[in-house]
Amino acid sequence: MGIRASPTVALHFTDCAVPVDARLGAEGEGFTLAMRTLDLTRPATGAMAVGIGQAALDAAVTYARERQQFGQPIGAFQGVQFMLADMAMQVHAARLMIHHAARQVDAGIRANTYEASMAKCWAGDAAMKVATDAVQIFGGYGYTREYPVERFMRDAKIMQIYEGTNQIQRLIIAKELLGD
């Protein structure tokens, strides 16, 4: 459906022995270690979402400048202008949140679960909203494969799902807020 540049597959191991010296941690710590890596990878997932949102915004702005209706570009209509402004704010806010979480990772801060989850969640939701709005601005053309916005919308959806769904991100954020 989307992210065609990522050949993601399921791997199944049966009776696979891992030598003790090849383990990343002690026996039984695998799940905990895997969960901790998400604080590092969620900002990267969010960065992909920002890129998708930016690409969708750029395509919508270009199209709004070029597409003519009633003798003027559709970008001259206030309804389209409001959509573009909202899209720009969503992308910009997502970018700032991702930069903050990424700076924490770069600084070696490993207790950034709250910020990483917020940034990933916001960026994923923003990418989906912006891509959907871009399809709307393109009208019927936005739904065709002739234009890139249909792909941006498909690619944006996975940003709300992998590295922990955005529903899970909201649970993590609430848990951090409540101190549970």
| 66 classed as catalytic | no
CA distances (Å), origin 58, targets 43, 53, 136, 147: 22, 9, 14, 12
Q: What is the DSSP string of 52-72?
A: HHHHHHHHHHHHHHH-EETTE
Per-residue pLDDT tens over the stretch 105-125: 999 988 899 999 999 999 999
- Among 24-28, 50-54, 85-89, 129-133, the range scoring the smallest mean pLDDT is 24-28
Per-residue pLDDT tens over the stretch 3-58: 766 677 889 989 998 888 888 888 888 888 888 889 899 999 999 999 999 999 99
The predicted model gives 71-77 an average pLDDT of 98
The predicted model gives 66-90 an average pLDDT of 98
pLDDT for 157 beyond 80: yes
What confidence category does residue 2 fall into, taking pLDDT thresholds of 50, 70 and 90?
low
Q: Which of 29, 66, 150, 163 is catalytic?
A: 163
d(CA 7, CA 95): 26
